[in-house]
Chain A
Amino acid sequence: MCTSGKYSSRGPALIPRMKTKHRIYYITLFSVVLLGLIATGMFQFWPHSIESSAEWSLDRRSVHDAPLVRIPVSSPIPERGDLSCRMHTCFDVYRCGYNPKNKIKVYIYPLQRFVDDVGVPISSTGLSREYNDLLSAISDSDFYTDDVSRACLFIPSIDVLNQNSLRIRETAQALAMLPRWDKGMNHLLFNMLPGGPPDYNTALDVPRDRALLAGGGFSTWTYRQGYDVSIPVYSPLSAEVDLPERQPGPRRYFILSTQTAIHREYRVELERLKEENGEAVLLLDKCTNLSQGLASIRKRCYKSQVYDYPQILQESSFCVVLRGARLGQATLSDVLQAGCVPVIMADSYILPFSEVLDWKRASVVIPEEKLPEMYTILKSIPHRQVEEMQRQARWFWEAYFSSMKAIGMTTLQIINDRIYPYAARTYEEWNNPPIVKWSSVNSPLFLPLIPPRLPGFTAVVLTYDRIESLFRVITEISKVPSLAKLLVVWNNQNKSPPEESLWPKVAVPLKVVRTKENKLSNRFFPFDEIETEAVLAIDDDIIMLTSDELQFGYEVWREFPDRLVGYPGRLHLWDHEMGKWKYESEWTNEVSMVLTGAAFYHKYFNYLYTYKMPGDIKNWVDAHMNCEDIAMNFLVANITGKAPIKVTPRKKFKCPECTAIDGLSLDQTHMVERSECINKFASVFGTMPLKVVEHRADPVLYKDDFPEKLKSFPNIGSL
């Protein structure tokens, strides 16, 4: 009792004591334990759980958690880099293999923090935001592989974008320590700011064996053509400032200079240029009178006038990009983004991605010596061309400069193109902006060739069951001197073609092919039996064309082998009331289509029609049993950009058998249906490819007052 009393009496006394002495101790202890447990738990289980799931995003460690690697002082240093390296001498192409996709595989080394013997990092900045973006972009791309044994190209995660932040010797040692380094073979380094004071080398000074260098600021003496890749100096402003695309055209200023680090000599010359040309030239410099807080990078000044940078770049037609200590300038990127045409003055500079990009279309390169003549040189460029250049400059920026991702992907694509040159992207793919790609036409038959008269043409007659008329057509065509072969396409599955003995006797080979289905498309099928380039598609009821007319048609086709050459012409018109296309037949002064009831064309178009017809046009034609000729006209005009050629006055194909039906009503439904076809096809093609012309081809002496018997083609029929 007493004791308990004692306890109880001391109890209260104890608690306050504990409060002061031990409570804090206990609480800290417990929280340490608790935190420790939680931390342990996290450490124990979290990483393991990710290993099983391939989910990227869950693994977000900090840069500072990257494993630390200590570089021994005696660690080997790579060689300086061989200036004679080329893909066939310093690159191991066997690692890339032959694959149907023609795509290289790129491996990225795991991130490590390299420190020297005493623990000082090899780089003052570590991983920069830009290099991080670059690596992320590559790892998200098709190029990436995590399987080091399948990789063709290796990218170290050592950031060497800016040489100034690097300790050169240690960085080189770190490179050599990479597990697959192997004399730098197939390794790719990205560097944007090479060299350092006082002489600023134009390539990264870090010794790197045979590694490829994607460098910003190469000069012609350090760039190993076909091996290194010249890349832009990325401008971080791109990410910060959104400059909307401006319509190309004249701007407020003609020449603008915004660089702040221009050599005195050049600034003097620029100032002289300004004196001579006044308002047309705007020469900006760093602001000296700005209060401290303002970001000086985003401001430029002329005397006391303050301008926003890079917005001001959009106010000028041409923008000066002069070399500084280095050849590559981040300003170039800003200038392109603004759609201003860069005037590049940096002798011996290898322009970014010059292996594939045609800088003549987006910039003006002037030797430094000619700086005083800049104004005259730029004035001599036609306005239209300046506008094209402005558009091109902006497009280059969007496609190849705008982000580290764009820069990285372009670099890899260039290397990819070297390894699979037969599958490389073409000049046009690299350089034509979407608007040109969309509007330009590169005919697949681009060589100006006039095919020889021999071997003649193959007549392809589509028939169903009008045998009598078919035989008459065959007899008529067989009189044409240049006919090489007759091919009858028998489109009737229920009936066999007549026996061989019944067919008319003709001097040229006659072949009959039977089709599996009664489809209109069959007439344009590229039968192996067609051995000539020239095809005459003809219906089995076209008996009115004379031999002279057909031979003349063939002669015209020889002069225009990439066009449809036909007889009756047709026209499409825009119906303003209905707001759609309309089909027009006879008696127009213009022509945009020819009927394929009888038309010459290149066999190539049979392949296009059968295998490359866009959308569901082929099925539509077969389902409607109509408009196969309109489809063919669309196809040819779309791919060649050229109108068909109508020959001779022929206006329609009269078919005696059809006249029984009431012409008029048939005509009207017919016209409606054909109009519908035009609208349908125009929407599938996404444009109206047909071209309208006002001419037709006649023999030179047609209707001339000249003895008929001396004319080559006297018998040109009437309408």
Chain B
Amino acid sequence: MQAKKRYLLVSVGACTLLLAYLWGIQMGEFQNQESPELYRVSHVPVIQPRTPHWLESLEPPRQTYLGEAEQEEDGPLLLHQHTSPRERREIQKNIYKSRRCRMEPCFDFGRCERGFKIYVYPPQKSEAPSESYQKILAAIEESRFYTTDPNEACLFVLSIDTLDRDQLSSQYVQNVRARIQSLALWYEGRNHLIFNLYSGTWPDYTEELGFDIGQAMLAKASADADNFRPHFDVSLPLFSKDHPQKGGDKGYLTLNNVPPLRKYLLVFKGKRYLTGIGSETRNALYHIHNRDDIVLSTTCKHGKDWEKHKDARCDRDNEEYTKFDYQELLHNSSFCLVPRGRRLGSFRFLEALQAACIPVLLSNGWELPFSEVIDWSKAAIIGDERLLLQVPSITRSVGHDRILALRQQTQFLWDAYFSSVTKIVLTTLEIIHDRIRMHMSRSRPMWNSVPGGLYALPEFSSDPTLFPFYYSPLGKSPSQDFTAVIQAVTPLQYQQQPIFKLIHAVAKSKFCTQILVLWNCEKPPPPRNKWPSISTPFTIIEGKKKTMSGRFFPHHAIKTDAVLSLDEDSVLSTNEVDFAFIVWQNFPDRIVGYPARSHYWDSGKGRWGYTSKWTNEYSMVLTGAAFYHRYYHHLYTYYLPMSLLSMVDQLANCEDILMNFLVSAVTKLPPIKVTQKKQYKETMMQQGSKASRWADPDHFAQRQSCMNSFTSWFGFMPLIHSQLRLDPVLFKDQVSILRKKYRDIERL
């Protein structure tokens, strides 16, 4: 029994030993695995060889990151933690100053409650500002925001020229600091806007301006993202002193080649800096220069003592440099390299943009021009200076469709925001304007698609579907109805007056939801019962100012997208109205009308001429009978300057020409003429009432001179000729009239 017991105990003991041994090994292995991590982890990177890297746990953790107290948003347990919001705002105003400025603490919104008005300080007596700064000030003074009263101003602009702050430059203005401090309205720079193109100087080209801008906003070229105060400063493009005040040259793209490839893939021709800031990138360009489709040519030959720093490649580079013509390269390349120079931005950027040469940007840290609103990825390739060697493969990998789109976008952006100093200044102002009316500002697509932010006024509506430009990109279409707006200038006398016929004809159109009569006659409007009885809603609006421009006032009563603008003596049939409206729905951004006029260049007199003769082409349609989008009422009233509007009012003429100028400037397209019964013109001239302005001999001469005044304000001639007229599909075809939908148009 003892033996048995002992045997049993021994075996149990042995088992235990074995187990202990196995455990020991196991634990040992475990320890061996773990110990190096424990002690050596900070010295040696331990790369675990096993696939599961960070771990998937047996059961996912149940605990949410919010924790218990956090579940109730910030935890009211914390005694309502935060200080009073009002106090906090005050504190922020004191903390976040100068370099840390943002709109809320540094900008006094209170000043802008009466509208976005800009005051320019009176000019300095001592010296005239530079040419560029004069252009900037002129652009502000001509804009719709300008005011001469500092009390109603929201934004202040200095008359001291701050464009060139390079101390070595001849245009450097001395004593800016003292001069600014002496301004009565300076208030540490609050609500001030300072323009600058060049800052800092050789050798380090910092962003130093040489004076304290305080809480003023800075509109600056070559802005460095480091110092740029987002949503407070504005980044400008660098432009030369020859940049035109207005209008500006068109982009060079006149047609879309397919395939969109040009002779060269990528080009650059410019200076190379042998030493100092920004030299690395340009000095490395020769690595990817292949003399074939990538031509990157540099020269060392600039500045006084270039030969001192001359390197081994200089002579060869200089020689090759003369072989290539900058303009030839620019216009025959798909991509243009825009590397940083001494400063981040360069003239080259705008030159490439205008030439429809897609910029390839190599300028790390550059806050691109108007980056707050412009989506540059749609018009440029944004590269990295560190990855110069990848540039060839990146540009080669851009697909044809993308090149086509990028190239068109360069042209759109050039024309919308950069082609003149006025556009650059207005864009700057509109960006600031958008910040002030945050909930009523342009959306990003409005800035980045045709016709651009300067023509899309957010005061009209914050809803892009209400504008005539975005139906197709948003997948929408204009509303199926229109409002007829009739301009009445003669008192009602007899029932056969043309206006009665007109009202009946228009009211019969199934698309007409409303008729508005703008009563612009000295006598009071007759009561409703004197007017024709029609079922369509009928309203008489008596203008306060009975002026010509009043006919394009954006009355709230106009709710439909389409407006049919009519003179009281226009003669139209329901068929004509219906057809024109159907046509307009396909071209909601244009004017669609009946009688057309044309402009021509009178080379003898060196000015634009106006003709009402029957011609093979036209560039205007009269707004005495035309469909257009109601947005153009808004644009006409608020976009155009007082000078032009009052000219129209004084002459009581040309309002239709101005409207055609405006719409063509926006769309870059001609209006559309639809067919009409032929007696229109004759009726206009003869049957019209005594007051008809068409009978006046001065009338024509006035229109001629209007055209030239308008052209000078726009800075270019926006009108464009068209050679076609839109007719109903079966117009005058030799088939039974019964087959035709628009029969009355053909009947005489």
Contacts and interface: CB of A to CB of B under 8 A. Distances in A.
23 contacts: A14-B1, A75-B42, A86-B365, A125-B67, A130-B65, A164-B70, A179-B46, A220-B231, A261-B75, A265-B84, A326-B74, A348-B92, A360-B462, A380-B440, A559-B670, A587-B735, A590-B729, A696-B731, A698-B731, A700-B596, A703-B731, A703-B732, A704-B678
B65 A162 contact: yes
B82 interface: yes
Contacts of B96: 221
Closest 8 CB pairs of A and B: A439-B475, A179-B45, A385-B463, A324-B74, A128-B65, A88-B364, A111-B55, A447-B408
A157 B48 CA distance: 14
Contacts of A695: 579, 582-583, 586, 674, 726-729
B528 interface: no
Nearest to B675: A698
Nearest to A571: B729
B724 A555 contact: yes
Interface in A52-98: 54, 56-57, 59-63, 66-70, 72, 75, 84, 86, 88-89, 93-94, 98
Interface string B50-85: 111111111111111111011111111010111011
A177 B34 CA distance: 16
B31 to A, nearest CB: 12
A621 interface: no
A129 B73 contact: no
Given A84-B226, A86-B365, A604-B258, A111 B253 contact: no
Nearest to A18: B5
Contacts of A470: none
A446 interface: yes
Contact of B76 (A260, A360, A569, A588): A260
A715 interface: no
Interface in B1-57: 1, 12, 15-16, 19, 22-23, 26, 34, 37-38, 41-42, 44-48, 50-57
A248 interface: no
B673 interface: yes
A254 interface: no
B45 A180 contact: yes
Interface stretch (A395-403, A473-481, A511-519, A705-713): A705-713
Contacts of A325: 74, 78, 81-82
B652 interface: no
Interface string B445-487: 1001110000000000111011000001111000000000000
Interface string A575-613: 000000000000111110000000000111011000000
B72 A260 contact: yes
Contact of B225 (A225, A561, A694, A699): A225
B617 interface: yes
B683 interface: no
A421 interface: yes
A197 interface: yes
B375 interface: yes
B53 A589 contact: no
A680 B250 CA distance: 45
B47 A427 contact: no
A277 interface: no
Interface residues of A, number: 178
Residue from the set B70, B74, B92 with the largest chain A CB neighbour count within 10 Å = B74
Given A587-B735, A694-B582, A37 B57 contact: no
Nearest to A71: B42
Nearest to A558: B723
A66 B55 contact: yes
A135 interface: yes
Nearest to B615: A700
A7 interface: yes
A446 B450 contact: yes
A574 interface: no
A133 interface: yes
A136 B56 contact: yes
B12 A60 contact: no
Interface stretch (B198-206, B387-395, B626-634): B387-395
A441 B475 contact: yes
B63 A128 contact: yes
B535 interface: no
A347 B82 CA distance: 14
B377 A382 contact: no
Contacts of B26: 40, 43-44
Contact of A40 (B23, B465, B720): B23
Residue from the set A388, A448, A602 with the largest chain B CB neighbour count within 10 Å = A448
Interface of B: 1, 12, 15-16, 19, 22-23, 26, 34, 37-38, 41-42, 44-48, 50-67, 69-76, 78, 80-82, 84-86, 89, 92, 96, 100, 102, 104, 109, 225-226, 230-231, 253-259, 364-365, 375, 377-378, 381-387, 390, 393-394, 397-398, 400-401, 404-405, 408, 411-412, 438-441, 443-445, 448-450, 461-463, 465-466, 472-475, 579, 582-583, 586, 596, 614-618, 667-670, 673-675, 678, 720, 722-735, 739-742
A125 B63 contact: yes
B63 A129 contact: yes
B408 A446 contact: yes
Given A157-B55, A226-B225, 5 more contacts: A98-B393, A367-B438, A444-B405, A588-B729, A643-B586
A124 B63 CA distance: 11
Residue from the set B255, B732, B735 with the largest chain A CB neighbour count within 10 Å = B255
A377 interface: yes
A352 to B, nearest CB: 16
Nearest to A588: B729
Interface string A180-199: 10000000000011000110
B726 A602 contact: no
B443 A361 contact: yes
Contacts of A125: 63, 65, 67
Contact of B614 (A442, A445, A606, A701): A701
Contacts of B109: 367, 369
A331 interface: yes
B65 A700 contact: no
Contacts of A552: 723-724
A214 interface: no
Contact of A702 (B720, B727, B729): B727
B257 A533 contact: yes
Contacts of A43: 26
Given A348-B104, A533-B256, A694-B579, A700 B673 contact: yes
Given A440-B474, A447-B256, A265 B85 contact: yes
A614 interface: no
A112 B536 CA distance: 77
B65 A699 contact: no
Interface in A102-145: 107-112, 124-133, 135-136, 139
Contacts of B408: 445-447
B256 A132 contact: no
A382 B461 contact: yes
A162 B67 contact: yes
Contacts of A296: 72
Given A88-B364, A443-B472, A449-B254, A93 B78 contact: no
Given A59-B52, A591-B729, A701-B614, A93 B384 contact: yes
A263 B669 CA distance: 55
Given A40-B26, A385-B463, A704-B678, A107 B53 contact: yes
A225 B381 CA distance: 20
Given A88-B384, A695-B728, A697-B725, A197 B81 contact: yes
Given A98-B387, A136-B56, A365-B438, A86 B727 contact: no
A449 B667 CA distance: 10
B48 A110 contact: yes
B15 A694 contact: no
A344 B34 CA distance: 50
A200 interface: yes
